[in-house]
Amino acid sequence: MKSNVIAADHQSAPASSYDRNHRFRWAFGAIVLAMVIAAVYGSTLNAPLIFDDEVTLIQNTSIHTLWPLVGHSPDFGPLHPTAGTPVSARPLVNLTFAINYHFHQLDPRGYRVVNMVIHGSVAILVWVLVTRTLRLRKFGTRFDSSANLIGFLSAIVWAVHPINTETVVYITQRTELMVGLFYVATLLFSSCYFTAESLRSKATYLFLAVLASVVGMLSKEMMASVPAVVFVYQRIFFDDRCWSMLKKSWKLYVGLALTWIPVALLYAYGFRTPGGGFDEGVAIHHWWLSQSPIVFLYWRMSVWPWPLLIHYQFPVVTDFAAVWPWVTANVLLILLSVWGFVKRWPVAFVTVAFYAILSPTLLIPLPMEPAVERRMYLPLAVIVPFGIAGSYWILDVLRPRLSNHVHESKVLRLLVVVFVVAIASVFAVISKRRLTLYHNQLALWQDTLLHQPENTIALYGAGTLLALQGNVEEAVPYFEKSYRIDPTYYKSSYNLAQAYDRLGKNNEAIEQYQRTLEIKPTDPATHLNLGRLFEFEGDSEQAITHYRETISASPDFALARTNLGLLLLSQGQVAGAIKQLEMALRLDEDLPQYMNLVLAYSQAGKNEDVLRLLQSASDLARERGDIAVAEKLENARRQLAR
């Protein structure tokens, strides 16, 4: 029998169901999905770049050119992402950003259209996978007439679910979208592989499953769990013996296991996602304790997605007694999942997939992000179909008892449709309301503070935006509260010092910069600002000390060398000044740097060097089109040469 990805496998409906009318329904359903997604997310196309988007699209220079694809330092290409960015270990996502940048530069509309298309594609794959799964022999004939409907409704509810809003509209989170796309694709192609009858079909689906897995691995590390989830899928929905599974499908599992290699190579060569790892200052067992209640936060948000926050803050738990009920509940749920896996309960696939997909973030500390909505993008694609199929099954069981008028399957399907459409409508309204906040970063932070007033990151974020808008006095209370709650948080401490600095409160600024150095003793920016303030206050000795500390921490910091050189020059230390100013000019060839060095050479009586510098400065001015300045420099050189 000819295999068909969209249709069910040979265990299910007859070939006559795949006629032209059937294909039309699939096409019509896809159009409806696209229209629904556009209706929910279309208003966000013009929303500004937010948060890490600046790092991903502006500071990440590897996407600013399409060629060379890899490149070398410092001119990296799309497949060699800039280190320290959210796409550092995700080269294929970085490549898609490079393509977007080529056509749209920093216009967010193009990026969000691509995100919406990917989201819609995942929804369609969810629809196909759910339909295929419900038509397997595992379920007999229970879902024969409703599998397609349940799959479509699952895709609709999942597509408009409020918990997915961050993933779709926050451009940087394309990593989550792409891993979701290829994760579901891997499951779908694996399902087709299990049911394919001919060697050619098996080879085709084997290739597609492994390819999807490789691409997913290069999109986000969370893909690492897919071989295990495919194994659980086959065990629960196909074969009752593990040995039989491995005997039939060993080629698939070998292929999927080999797709771990790209991730291992990326990490071996130093490509890693910033902010996560076992060296982030949180003990591993404390992280596990802290995550135990968050697991149930994720379950709750799947059913009751409000409130939603751009950042969740929870304390690191160090005492087992504080979370023992949550730990116990997790252990029981995991044990039930294992038992369900053994007994081949369909619900076990939901719980096992949930833990497997989330396992990287549940096990590996990410202290700045203890809980994040986007992590539920994939688990939700498993939870929603189970909820809808389960509702249908319950109604089907209760149908004979409800009324003589509901024996017809059409009536049952109508009840399910009404119920699910009502839920989808509520979710769509909540999503639309949530998405309005993405037009204003400050509103996102302030909304977070409504629900978590002690959230240090949200306080810092709101204060930073106010300061950038010029409302420095309004920003100070946010920074002060953030610092008071967590005196070890460098960013709040530094920004508070900067706010005092900008307001002319020099004493308060100096004290706060000094507190910042207690958190980060070698921070070059803090030392530079302290040097500048001490110089302004007339304490040259302290200023010189901090300028030297800046240079020690960051030898290529041209401004620090300039400030130190000019201060040394003002104190008559001409030789030391020349050394610093020469280095500053090498690091930052600009007209002011030339003039600083001209002044130093003049005081040292080095007229030939002065003439040489004036000529170089004049040439630079002409290169930049500043003819008037170039002529003034040439006149000065001629007068000095007489």
Of the pLDDT bands very low, low, confident and very high (cuts 50, 70, 90), residue 506 is very high
Q: Residue 18: its pLDDT value, please?
A: 47
**Domain 445-605 classified CATH 1.25.40.10?**
yes
Q: What is the mean pLDDT of residues 115-128?
A: 98
What is Dmax (Cα atoms) for the chain? 114
Measure the CA–CA gap between 522 and 474, rounded to whole angstroms.
Answer: 29
pLDDT digits (tens, 9 = 90+) for 206-241: 999 999 999 999 999 999 999 999 999 999 999 767
* pLDDT exceeds 80 at position 2: no
* pLDDT exceeds 60 at position 6: no
Q: What is the mean pLDDT of residues 595-609?
A: 88
- Among 575, 569, 529, 468, residue whose Cα is nearest residue 48: 468
Q: Residue 408: its pLDDT value, please?
A: 56
Q: What are phi and psi of 229, to 5 degrees?
A: -70, -35
The residue type found at 258 is L
* pLDDT exceeds 60 at position 3: no
Measure the CA–CA gap between 228 and 260, rounded to whole angstroms.
Answer: 12
pLDDT digits (tens, 9 = 90+) for 461-475: 999 999 999 999 999
Quote the tokens at residue 540: 């040259």
Measure the CA–CA gap between 393 and 399, rounded to whole angstroms.
Answer: 10
| Residue whose pair of structure tokens reads 């999807």 in the numeric block | 212
Measure the CA–CA gap between 350 and 378, rounded to whole angstroms.
Answer: 11
Buried/exposed 479-498: b ≥16 CB within 10 Å, e otherwise: bbbbbeebeebbbbbbbbbb
Q: Residue 4: its pLDDT value, please?
A: 44
* pLDDT exceeds 70 at position 13: no
Measure the CA–CA gap between 9 and 13, rounded to whole angstroms.
Answer: 8
Among residues of the chain, what percentage have pLDDT more than 70?
95
* pLDDT exceeds 90 at position 403: no
**Peptide bond preceding 360 in cis form (omega within 30 of 0):** no
pLDDT digits (tens, 9 = 90+) for 174-187: 999 999 999 999 99
- Among 170, 157, 140, residue whose Cα is nearest residue 51: 170
Q: Residue 507: its pLDDT value, please?
A: 96
Q: Residue 9: its pLDDT value, please?
A: 44
DSSP H helices in 469-557: 472-485, 490-502, 506-519, 524-536, 540-553
DSSP state of 2: -
Q: Residue 280: its pLDDT value, please?
A: 77
Kindly report the CA angle at 149 between 145 and 154, in degrees rounded to 5?
140
Q: Residue 205: its pLDDT value, please?
A: 97
Contact 159, 168 (CB under 8 A): no
Contacts of residue 634, Cβ cutoff 8 Å, sequence gap at least 6:
614, 615, 618
* pLDDT exceeds 70 at position 1: no
Most confident listed range (6-10, 52-56, 78-82, 183-187): 183-187
Contact 399, 5 (CB under 8 A): no
Q: Residue 194: its pLDDT value, please?
A: 94
Contact 359, 337 (CB under 8 A): no
Q: Residue 404: its pLDDT value, please?
A: 54
* pLDDT exceeds 50 at position 30: yes
Measure the CA–CA gap between 77 and 199, rounded to whole angstroms.
Answer: 40
- Among 59, 61, 99, residue whose Cα is nearest residue 80: 61
Domain-by-domain residue ranges, the chain? 15-49+106-434, 445-605, 606-642
* pLDDT exceeds 60 at position 43: yes
* pLDDT exceeds 80 at position 491: yes
Write down the mean pLDDT value for the chain.
91
Q: Residue 366: its pLDDT value, please?
A: 92
